Amino acid sequence: MLEETASVVTIEKDYARVALIRSEACGDCCAKHICHPSSEKTMEMKVLNTAGAHPGDRVIISLPAADLLKASATAYLMPAVAAVAGGAIGWTRTGSDTGAIIGCAAGLLLGLVLLFLLDKGKKVPEPFISRVLESGRTSG
């Protein structure tokens, strides 16, 4: 399980908008499309509020590592394997570099189309609040 500490900014129905401190790994993260920088040091993202957090709470944001690994492997490996297979088929059918290049390009295109078709309708792994570390509410 991948975990990160954040602060709840607002609540929107079943979701919470949280602020996280940006890390060095943010630039290479495959989930960066769901994060939005709010400054150079922090970013905000919308996550499922499964722990019932409230604005001001410090929380743990979680994302199952297996889901992330499976999505990454599919996204990167499927087109690469299809390109290599296409290149090998092109080479064996024509015996030339041109045939291998055309086969590689065709395999890559086929792999990307298959990836697009597999992705349609699939639910993307969503980060969620797994627990509240400390409440930001004051007792009154």
Task: Phi first, then psi: give them for residue 64, nearest 5 degrees.
Answer: -60, 125
Asked whether residue 40 carries a pLDDT value surpassing 80, the answer given is: no
CA–CA dist 68, 73 (Å, integer): 9
Asked if 132 contacts 57 with a C-beta cutoff of 8 angstroms, the reply is yes
Distance from C-alpha of 39 to C-alpha of 82, rounded to nearest angstrom: 40
Lowest-pLDDT range, 12-16, 32-36, 72-76, 83-87? 32-36
What is the model's pTM?
Answer: 0.56
What domains lie within the chain, and their CATH numbers?
A: 2-64+125-134 (2.40.50), 67-119 (no CATH)
Query: 45: closest CA among 15, 24, 69, 65?
Result: 15
Asked whether residue 64 carries a pLDDT value surpassing 50, the answer given is: yes
